[in-house]
């Protein structure tokens, strides 16, 4: 593989999947590594994902607390079977069924799990497990069938570029013949289950280990002058980026094995922003250029030259720097965000806007582990006596989905807090609320206090609220267009700030 040290990534999606970041179908997701000394809480991680409008995430394992925190978020999630778990699952259908029940079925449908990645680069990293890799995939798929989840959740396994010994020119690429039997079975499984080939594609390593064969511009998606353009001599296809060439090499390798119609999903792609003295190409400028160009490339919804109509859904490696990873300095510095939610460098997620993460505002949100009855009471009070503007969480409004008690309470708590803090209002709500610097806004749902909105709440109410609204009955008053508000003018002004 192009990576010196492997990481645990995996992915698959439903055939009809449409990413929020691009209505045409292509999307950019992000990996969440765990070798971090100061990893945010699970609730904060989800808030960070929502604040930066990531709609797809990949987990290295099946972390119970994070899967629980992702419940109701609408974010598409892939869970991973670790390399250490592959042997046990591959040797026992019962173990596979137990794994699916514990790590997938138990969280669905509230947590939107769409894929299981079986191991990470198993063929090149833990070859002793390769003999049971296909069995593990089959057992897991059968467990999904038994749970009636096989149409929602796909099974695959991520590969490095190392299983293609000679990736250029792409048209002549073939898989390492020593893996022919195993790869044939994997590809047959993907074809039979309508799944996806998972590829870890790293132009950074392709460039730095290429002995100067390719120019840096080719690795980071910069335009090449005509005299330096990379052309496949057999097809005369022009490759504007190493990324496209890697994806196309994978398609040609599958075709050489007599398989077609299996889409490629890039499960890892990124660029380190800091390296050691002998890693000059791992720098901030290259990382910013690569990832921003990668996002633009993916979201144009086109494929590589050999498959121009197949989008290349891709997951950026990675959300946070994994400072506990072994290896060179560059290995620890692939993150696009610091653990406090601020960005390492400006990154634009297509139509989703720019990741800045540097909000100076304080927001009030519901605690993920709060008692549901107390949350309901807090929501009722905020939208009633608390006079929060709760119009946006009504059905059909921008903040209605995800339709969860925690999400609705967060919106109401924050709206109350932003309006009443200066008058002594607190973020407590009987211990069910907490403050955060991470902007919880997502999509068209703008929380009060967000820099994304010129108004305080980002949504104007069709009517106001009565100070007499009883707990549990606030929503009915939202439907009354001519309801008269009886409160002092000063408080009335606060509601419409």
- Which residues have C-beta within 8 Å of that of residue 142, sequence separation ≥ 6? 93, 96, 97
Strand partners, 347: 355
327-332 CB contacts, 8 Å cutoff, 24+ apart: 327/4, 327/5, 328/4, 328/275, 328/276, 328/278, 328/279, 329/274, 329/275, 329/276, 329/279, 329/282, 330/272, 330/274, 330/275, 330/276, 330/279, 330/282, 331/4, 331/5, 331/272, 332/274
- Give the distance from CA 496 to its chain's centroid: 35
Among the listed residues 76, 268, 318, 406, the single catalytic one is 268
d(CA 80, CA 59): 6
Q: How many other β-carbons are positioned within 10 Å of the β-carbon of residue 65?
A: 13
268 tagged catalytic: yes
Sheet (strand 158-160) strand order: 154-156, 112-118, 76-81, 56-59, 28-32, 314-316, 264-269, 197-200, 158-160
84 tagged catalytic: no
The residue assigned the tokens 């680069």 is: 121
Among the listed residues 9, 85, 121, 331, the single catalytic one is 121
The residues annotated as belonging to the active site are 121, 268
């Amino acid at each position: 593989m192009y990576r010196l040290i492997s990481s645990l990534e995996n992915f698959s999606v439903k055939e009809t999947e449409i990413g929020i970041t691009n209505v045409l179908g292509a999307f950019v997701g992000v990996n969440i590594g765990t070798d971090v000394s100061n990893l945010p809480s699970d609730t904060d991680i989800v808030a960070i994902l929502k604040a930066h409008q990531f709609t797809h995430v990949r987990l290295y394992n099946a972390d119970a607390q994070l899967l629980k925190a992702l419940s109701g978020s609408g974010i598409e999630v892939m869970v991973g079977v670790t390399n250490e778990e592959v042997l046990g699952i591959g040797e026992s259908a019962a173990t596979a069924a137990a794994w699916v029940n514990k790590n997938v079925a138990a969280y669905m449908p509230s947590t939107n799990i769409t894929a299981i990645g079986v191991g990470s680069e198993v063929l090149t990293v833990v070859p002793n497990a390769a003999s049971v890799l296909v069995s593990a995939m089959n057992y897991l798929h059968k467990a999904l069938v038994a749970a009636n989840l096989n149409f929602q959740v796909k099974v695959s396994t991520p590969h490095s570029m190392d299983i293609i010994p000679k990736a250029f020119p792409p048209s002549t690429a073939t898989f390492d013949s020593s893996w022919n039997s195993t790869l044939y079975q994997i590809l047959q499984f993907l074809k039979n289950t309508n799944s996806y080939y998972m590829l870890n594609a790293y132009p950074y390593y392709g460039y730095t280990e290429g002995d100067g064969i390719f120019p840096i511009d080719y690795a980071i998606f910069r335009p090449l002058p005509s005299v330096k353009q990379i052309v496949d001599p057999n097809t005369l296809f022009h490759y504007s980026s190493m990324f496209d060439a890697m994806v196309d090499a994978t398609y040609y390798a599958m075709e050489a094995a007599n398989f077609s119609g299996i889409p490629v999903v890039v499960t890892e792609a990124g660029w380190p922003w800091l390296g050691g003295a002998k890693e000059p190409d791992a720098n901030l400028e290259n990382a910013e250029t690569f990832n921003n160009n990668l996002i633009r490339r993916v979201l144009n919804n086109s494929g590589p030259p050999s498959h121009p109509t197949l989008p290349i859904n891709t997951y950026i490696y990675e959300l946070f720097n994994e400072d506990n990873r072994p290896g060179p300095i560059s290995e620890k510095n692939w993150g696009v965000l610091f653990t406090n939610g601020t960005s390492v460098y400006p990154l634009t997620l297509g139509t989703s806007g720019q990741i800045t993460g540097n909000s100076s505002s304080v927001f009030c949100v519901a605690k993920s582990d709060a008692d549901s009855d107390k949350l309901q009471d807090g929501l009722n009070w905020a939208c009633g006596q608390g006079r929060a503007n709760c119009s946006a969480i009504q059905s059909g409004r921008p903040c209605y989905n995800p339709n969860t008690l925690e999400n609705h309470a967060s919106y109401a708590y924050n709206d109350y807090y932003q309006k009443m803090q200066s008058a002594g209002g607190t973020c407590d709500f009987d211990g069910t609320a907490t403050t955060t610097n991470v902007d919880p806004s997502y999509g068209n749902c703008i929380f009060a206090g967000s820099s994304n909105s010129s108004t305080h709440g980002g949504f104007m109410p069709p009517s106001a609220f009565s100070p007499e609204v009883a707990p549990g009955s606030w929503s009915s008053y939202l439907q009354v267009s001519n309801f008269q508000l009886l409160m002092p003018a000063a408080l009335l002004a606060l509601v419409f700030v």
